[in-house]
Chain A
Amino acid sequence: MTIRALRILAVASVAAFIAVSIAPPPAGTAAPGPSPTGALTLYTSESEDDVNLIAGDFMRRTPGVTVKIFRAGTGPVEAKVEAEMQAGRIQADVLWFADIGFLEALGRKGMLMSFAPPAARGVARQFHYDGNQLHEVRLIFNVVGINTRQVRFRPTSWWDLARPRYKGRAGLPSPFVSGAAFAHVGTFASMRQFGWEYYRALRQNNAAILRSNGDVIQKLASGEISIAQIVDFFVRAARADGSPVDAIWPVEGAVLVPTPVGIVRTATNPDAARAFVNYLYTPEAQRLFAQRAYIPVRPDVPLPPGAPALASIKIIQPNLEYIDQHRDEIKKTFTTIFGVQ
């Protein structure tokens, strides 16, 4: 390489760097109107593929809007929101992750925007919370997942994870990583039929505390664990790919995991944010959810293969009040029982 080439390379790489680092200009004071433009920033714990699919379809239908996605587990996403609040302003326009307690707290601090999506007509009122600040766009549940090559007798109960047969072979996602898992632990802790007794029994059975639901489905599919607490669509999606897994809907019920969407009040691009949330309720978006193995909230959109009809599911509602009031205690007790964070 000659020195000239080196110099050119250096200049070129710096130029390329600048080009990459300069994001498309934010919408600024977006003009009100039917067709929003500019960048829309979404912070989410949704799975990468799903969120890309949804955002891609939205962008096709809304030319002029670019969706920028920050995706990580609920914990890291919340850490980012928290850090940005400390620094003055949440950088996202739309938040979408599996910790309704955190999002409701944001709402109480006046950091979310009320919005009634026109496309959500016909969707049950119960899927909009806190004066339309938060919206449920499709339903997910914590269920019991099994590896079908290893589990011959289909379990029926949550307590099956604590059976000696599965000693050292049961797993659950960490409530410190997965918001869905945290809601689950909080809800079970508050229920008389489970309580902390349930988790002590799991500990006794050497249940593994894994990281995310993604970690759980990997280990369930590979057979590293045989039985797990896991979010239902992970199991259906892996099963559709051909992995040897199946979902069991326990007799006690499946825990509904709220994963609400909310618009940040100080959004840089509120028009695009509203258009995005509205889009999530359109039949097109709802069909995409079903295609990705989620149970849609629109009653007029067909269910994904293998999913039970909404009416037939015994739902355990998450105990949000208990979770909100006992946040630290839940984490502390869980840590004490399992010796992990």
Chain B
Amino acid sequence: MGEGESASLSLGLEVPRRRAMRSGLLGFAAAAGATLAVLVVYPSAVLVVQSFLVRGHLSLAHYARLAREAETYRVLLNSVAVATAATAGGTVLGTALAWLVARTDVPGRAAWRTLLLVPYMIPPFIGALAWVYLLSPVGYLNQVWMALTGSQDPLLVVYGPAGIIGTMILYGYPIVYLAAVGVLERMDPVLEEAARISRAGPWRVFREIACPLMLPGVLAGALLLMMSCLGNFGIPAVLGYPARYFVLTTRIYATILNFDQPDNLQLASALSMWLVVIAGVLLAAQRRLQRADRFAVVGGQATAPSRVALGAWRYPVLAGLVLFVVVSVGLPLAAIVLTSLVRAYGLPPVPSNLTLAHYGTVLTGVPKVQRAFVNSLVLAAGSASLIVALALGLAYLGTRIRGRGAWLLDLLVTIPYAVPGTVIALAMILAWLRPIPILGVRLYDTLWIILLAYVARFLVFGVRTVLAGLSQIQTSLEEAARIGGAGPVEVFWEILVPLIRPSLTAGWALAFIPAVAELTLSILLFSVGHETLGVVVFGLNDEGKATLAAAMAMLVTVLLLGLNLATRAAFRQGEGMPHG
């Protein structure tokens, strides 16, 4: 997940029709359209068709079987319950934090703005690992607790639904936070001021004025958070298994790997349809919300916002924020560092047991680690570049079809992000397992299948950003160029592309970052020599190399924090990253 998610997945394809396409660009747009068909339409169709195949014949048997099994309903219920609870928690947390940072006079607001986004820059499965180090039955926090109280029992154990929900909240709330900050920045402060003049306290201002105004934007963020929780694989994979607690994504993953079962891929496809349906409902709700969302009080004008004075609450709130960041970021990072330094897993982390040797081992002694750094960076750069190119092509396709069919284009770009990654990976396996007819090339088992999956998955980030850039350009510039004798291809490359350069770069970065530490897709699609960073961390942990896994997790986290913060610094203008 990248930081560039706004509360909306919509592309806003209504690019002014002035940029009608001409000869040279038609091919470009057609190629983009065809790519979309290969990326999204074909795998989706294969997924649906395969779910009806029983030993090669059309049948409803997989669905019937799932309908009979109690396990199906249990897993479905688990998924919905976890996602709902995490969304509720994340929404409350994200909204409250956004309001504190954007609308009150809490000290150090600029620093909080970045700090509160840090959990979003940590890959969720690494966050989950960190919480295992902290709150497994013998985790650091539990050991401290047992040592202090003399208790034989741990304070809290992170395995199971409660731990999954808590971890999802901690690493997911920034989705809502970003959406809420966006609304608050554009919100007319007059109402709040009026309330304050009438001597309403800060809490009352928040509850009765800010909340209703923020509702539509926050709701859109909440829906996005829910999609993200529903599709999350890493957290339930790390925290659910020890408690024998499965959600749809982890159950589908297990079904894909359960080769003993005949038609396991087809059965997994049928099970996937639950997730497709739920994602579809959430996406539809988002769209509806967007159409209705034309609230007037959130003006576009940047009125110099006045802050709500917290008064006596100023420092308690500050202390709360400090505590929150310590718990959500400080402790997990410290736990990863500590685990990566312990000489042998299970020894107490006292100075005589600490060593830097594991970093040396992962960097020089495990070949797949070096491979994974190259693979992940190349995959991320490759997919980001393809995404930006595709986005340009699709933008032109959008102008060509002028509204008719724009919804289809929008849907095709959005679906691979709205539908959980596990399902996307399954569709890719089914689509590309066999060699492509005529060409005889097999994508499964190569880096290409991961690349295709990344491009499909993160396309929406790039397309949204590029389209937003494109829609802000005045027609007059192009017209001037045309009058000056420039052809459409020249206008495109010499006028438009340079003008939307910041959007292209931003779109590239937004697609690049989430791909670097991606796990959900690559854990199902990797093959010999084609491991990604996520796969390596997950694999080392699975092999019992806890200290090496921790060292790797630390390196990946540092890399991602660096990339995120560098990107934020590069785009720092007002709030920083362009959110579609």
Contacts and interface: CB of A to CB of B under 8 A. Distances in A.
Interface of A: 1-3, 6, 9-10, 13-14, 16-17, 20-21, 23, 41-43, 47-49, 52, 68-73, 75-76, 78-80, 82-83, 86-88, 91, 147, 149, 176, 208-224, 234, 238, 241-245, 327-328, 331, 338-341
Given A10-B385, A221-B344, A222-B546, 16 more contacts: A10-B389, A14-B385, A16-B378, A23-B529, A48-B545, A68-B529, A69-B529, A75-B257, A87-B434, A87-B444, A209-B244, A214-B545, A218-B546, A221-B346, A238-B345, A245-B346
B530 to A, nearest CB: 8
A243 B345 contact: yes
Interface in B127-162: 136-138
A13 B454 CA distance: 15
A91 B258 CA distance: 19
The 5 closest A-B pairs by CB, nearest first: A214-B544, A221-B346, A13-B381, A70-B528, A10-B385
Contact of B501 (A6, A88, A234): A6
B508 A6 contact: yes
B542 A17 contact: no
Interface in B103-147: 136-138
B528 A224 contact: no
Contacts of B504: 3, 6
Contacts of A3: 497-498, 501, 504
A71 B540 CA distance: 11
A340 B240 CA distance: 12
Interface stretch (B84-92, B314-322, B445-453): B445-453
Contacts of A149: 346
Nearest to B380: A13
Given A6-B504, A10-B385, A222 B346 contact: yes
A75 B258 contact: yes
Interface of B is mostly: helix
B544 A212 contact: yes
B345 A222 contact: yes
A218 B546 CA distance: 7
B381 A331 contact: no
Contacts of A69: 368, 528-529
B368 A9 contact: no
A243 B547 CA distance: 11
Interface in B454-484: none
Given A13-B378, A218-B546, A327-B260, A41 B528 contact: yes
Contacts of B344: 221, 238, 241-243
Contacts of A238: 344-346, 544
12 contacts: A1-B501, A13-B381, A16-B382, A17-B378, A48-B545, A79-B258, A80-B527, A83-B265, A222-B345, A223-B138, A241-B344, A341-B258
Contacts of A13: 378, 381-382, 384-385
| Interface range, B side | 35 or more
Contact of B447 (A1, A17, A86, A87): A17
Interface of B: 136-138, 241-242, 244, 254, 256-260, 264-265, 343-347, 353, 365-368, 374-375, 378-379, 381-382, 384-386, 388-389, 429, 433-435, 442, 444-448, 451, 497-498, 501, 504-505, 508, 527-530, 539-546
Contacts of A23: 446, 529
Nearest to A209: B244
A211 B543 CA distance: 10
Given A9-B385, A213-B544, A218-B345, A21 B527 contact: no
A1 B505 contact: yes
Contacts of B451: 17, 21
Contacts of B448: 21
Contacts of B435: 87-88
B378 A78 contact: no
A161 B546 CA distance: 24
A210 B242 contact: yes
A70 B447 CA distance: 14
Contacts of A42: 528
Nearest to A241: B344
A241 B342 CA distance: 11
Contact of B136 (A82, A217, A224): A224
Contact of A243 (B136, B346, B445, B497): B346
A242 B347 contact: yes
B466 to A, nearest CB: 12
A242 B343 CA distance: 7
A18 B366 CA distance: 24
A327 B508 CA distance: 50
Contact of A20 (B368, B378, B442): B378
Residue in B136, B346, B447, B545 with the greatest tally of chain A CB atoms within 10 Å: B346
A28 to B, nearest CB: 15
A341 B254 contact: yes
Given A213-B544, A238-B344, A244-B346, A222 B136 contact: yes
B367 A52 contact: yes
B385 A223 contact: no
Contacts of B505: 1, 6
B543 A48 contact: yes
Contact of B381 (A16, A48, A80): A16
Given A13-B382, A48-B540, A211 B241 contact: yes
A82 B259 CA distance: 7
Contacts of B445: 91
B501 to A, nearest CB: 5
Contacts of B447: 17, 20-21
Contacts of B530: 21
B381 A214 contact: no
B460 to A, nearest CB: 19
B138 A224 contact: yes
A130 B407 CA distance: 61
A86 to B, nearest CB: 8
A1 B384 CA distance: 15
A340 B243 CA distance: 10
B258 A176 contact: yes
A79 B539 contact: no
A41 to B, nearest CB: 6
A87 B441 CA distance: 12
Given A17-B451, A87-B433, A241-B344, A73 B138 contact: no
Contact of B539 (A10, A72, A243): A72
